[in-house]
Structure 1
Amino acid sequence: MPPYQPWAQGYSPYNRPAPVNGLAIASLVLGVLCFLPGVGLLLGLVALRQIRRRGERGTGLAVGGMILSGIGLVLWVLLFTMGSPSGLWQRVKDGARGSVSTSLTKGECFDAPGGVLSGRPRDFDKVSCSGEHDGEVFASFRLDDGRYPGQHSVTNTADKRCWSLQGDYAMDSWAVPEGVDVYYLTPTEESWTAGDREVTCVFGNTDASANLTGSLRNDESVLDADQVAYLKAAHVLNSALDTAPDTAHTEGDLAKREAWAGRVSVALERQARMLRAHDWPDDAGKPVAVLTARLDKARVEWAKAARAKDMDAFYQHCDAGANLIDPLQTVTARQALGLATTPPSGDAGPAGSGGDGDTGLQV
């Protein structure tokens, strides 16, 4: 029986597998870490050449590293183009929000496609507030985290908050032109999943074919100390007047009307105190003093309305009190202070029978 032939040189009886290419591993690591993506892409290319020439393993690793490094390279280019990681993420959120720009900040003005602020505008262009524009941002706030509460809930919250915030930006409602209304930009369900919680409050014209001209901002950054003092005092009364019960649902409800009259009476006392506490310039001192005296008389009538025994007595004192705080009676003081002197529509006379949900009184 012939002897066994010896193993040929270079042949292993255990059939060891070919080694894995080291550059392929390095390419994959750099691709996963998104670190030095250009280097990772280059190492992947070199690794493929070595694998074919040496018969090594790692083709999948090299290809995977090249793909991840390529993606990383694109992201790095976008990062440097758009300025910062936060800027890039903001654009991701804007894309989810239907391309609505959430980078608009308080005091900025913009144009919307077709001048339409309702619905979900696709894009806004920032423009100077000195010229014509479609909208002006007057406030913004964040909604609470958690699950998306639904469009109806988001809209209701935006409506209430934006209406309450407009007075901080435009302290003098008389200086706001006719036709200007409050709009708001809200997160969509899609942008909510990307972390978008911001509501942007905007002034715009109710007529889509009309524009705003000039900034509507009149707050402490624009007004002088005397104007601010007057408007803060007026805001106390206006806030109380705005709490009037709705006659459509409370007709005959004397208790609610009396409670409202009581709030107005307290506000009148506070307003008069604030006006007396301020040191007015000489030309404004007398008209403000005359106005304050009328507020004192009005407070007495509103206090009587708050204690009325029946609806007839309530209306009697409410009408008398409303005539004493007729917005036209404030024009002289406003003129002396350099404030707007034309009452907004609906503010040109007294509240009449009182008790309406919209009293028409804005002093």
Structure 2
Amino acid sequence: MDPNQPSQPTPPPGGWPAPGPYTSPGMPYTPYGAPGAAPYGPPRTTNGLAIGSLVSGIVCCLPPLGLILGLVALPQIKKRGQAGKGLAIAGIALSAVSCLLLVVGLVTGGFSSAWNSFNKGMEEASRSKSPSSLRTGQCFDDEGSSKKYTTEVTVVDCARPHDGEVTGVFKMTGFEAWPGEEAADELAQKRCETINSAYAMDTWAIPKDVWIHYYLPSEDTWRLGDRSVICGFGSAKDPFSGSVRSDRSTLTADQSSFLAIVNPIETVGYREPEDDPDEDFAANKAWAGELLAAIDAARADLGKRSWPGDSAGPVAELRKDLEAASKRWRALAGAADADAYWEGYDSAWNALPEDLGAEARTALGLTDTPPAGEGTQT
């Protein structure tokens, strides 16, 4: 034996014991099937019917379905060794409660009441719109009257009280960028006045305190491509009932012709300058000339048409009144200065028939009395 080689251990009596399982430091290897071993093979699945039962029970839309799915799922889970027993039991419980509530609701009428409330809410939601979605002839309630920009309106039946009625829509053109509120407002005022006049020709049928109303794009909606201006009539105080529509689609040819002839006198009359002749004589004199032109045009056009039945006589009388008024307004429009203007002002207004042919309107089947006897709105 080499003295430099280590000596071999002497085997114990009976020999060396059989080697145990291989282990690595800190990570013992556990053979499959031993206590604490992780099972080998695919993971256990969750029963789909159990999931369906729980979902049906939670949403309460089909409680009997959730109950059935849960009862079918339990034996499947046991037979197949699947997971989901707790889900199935929870689904069965929730579905049972939902079924009980459904029966109670049907017996007491509570379900019917809830369904009616749901339908009413859905109907109201479907009628809630942005002002930009309004269309000609629709009546609406303004939900944001206290805000600078209205974001929501509700379309309603024109027969019930409402805040406004749409007369037409036009697009703002000719602007490469947002023109500013003042320019947009000026354009809307002018265009909507024309649209309103064509929509409600029988101006005396417009309720008192109902005036021109419109919705403009804001600077923010302009960036998104909004160019629509919604024109209409709106109540300055209380809501009004009934449609104000009286255009060529709702009037007879004689009615629309008469109104188209005399309405410009009213329209120009409402444009009288705010400043007195002493402050702006030129503006007042120009306005008197415009009203004179409207009077002369009406007198001439009324004589160009044959008027039916009982309306012929009253129309002829109206022409005589307009001829007398024309003389007074011609003198007013030719006034040399503010003093001369004031001298002829009252006589000019007194010569113009206040009712603008009430008898002719009656004969033609039009409204023959201004709202509350205070004039008209255009």
- Unmatched tracts of structure 1, length 5 or more: 1-98, 349-360
1:259 is matched with which residue? Answer: 286
- Unmatched tracts of structure 2, length 5 or more: 1-128
1:221 is matched with which residue? Answer: 249
* Native 8 Å contact 1:261 1:318 kept in 2: no
Shift of 1:101: 4.1
Shift of 1:220: 0.6
* Native 8 Å contact 1:327 1:347 kept in 2: no
Secondary structure (helix, strand or coil) at the match of 1:111 reads strand
Count of aligned positions: 250
Shift of 1:330: 2.3
Instruction: Name the Cα RMSD after superposition.
Output: 2.8
Secondary structure (helix, strand or coil) at the match of 1:120 reads coil
Shift of 1:347: 4.2
Matches within 5 A, 1:20-31: none
Matches within 5 A, 1:264-275: 264-275=291-302
Cα 1:213–1:185 change in 2 (3 A) is same
Identical columns (%):
35
Residue number among 161, 166, 170 corresponding to 1:137 in the alignment: 166
Report whether the alignment pairs 1:337 with 2:364.
yes
Q: What is the identity, as a one-letter code, of the residue corresponding to 2:241? A: T
* CA distance, structure 2, for counterparts of residue 257 and residue 186 of structure 1: 31
* Native 8 Å contact 2:161 2:240 kept in 1: yes
Q: What is the identity, as a one-letter code, of the residue corresponding to 1:325? A: L
Report whether the alignment pairs 1:244 with 2:272.
yes
2:348 is matched with which residue? Answer: 321
1:282 is matched with which residue? Answer: 309
1:189 is matched with which residue? Answer: 219
* Native 8 Å contact 2:142 2:152 kept in 1: yes
* CA distance, structure 1, for counterparts of residue 280 and residue 370 of structure 2: 31
Secondary structure (helix, strand or coil) at the match of 1:328 reads coil
Cα 1:236–1:111 change in 2 (3 A) is closer
Residue number among 135, 142, 152 corresponding to 1:123 in the alignment: 152
Runs of 4+ in 1 over 6 A off after TM superposition: none
From the CA coordinates, give the structure whose radius of gyration is larger: 2
Matches within 5 A, 1:1-363: 100-113=130-143, 116=145, 119-144=148-173, 145-207=175-237, 210-248=238-276, 250-251=277-278, 253-328=280-355, 330-344=357-371, 347=374
* CA distance, structure 1, for counterparts of residue 146 and residue 263 of structure 2: 28
Shift of 1:118: 5.8
* CA distance, structure 1, for counterparts of residue 191 and residue 267 of structure 2: 15
* Native 8 Å contact 1:294 1:324 kept in 2: yes
Shift of 1:179: 1.9
Shift of 1:163: 2.9
Secondary structure (helix, strand or coil) at the match of 1:137 reads strand
1:259-317 deviation line (CA, Å, top 9, x unaligned):
33332222221111111111111201111111100101111111122233444443343
Q: TM-score, normalised by structure 1?
A: 0.61
* CA distance, structure 2, for counterparts of residue 273 and residue 233 of structure 1: 9
1:229-277 deviation line (CA, Å, top 9, x unaligned):
11111123234334433335x4265444333333222222111111111
Shift of 1:160: 3.3
* CA distance, structure 2, for counterparts of residue 270 and residue 293 of structure 1: 13
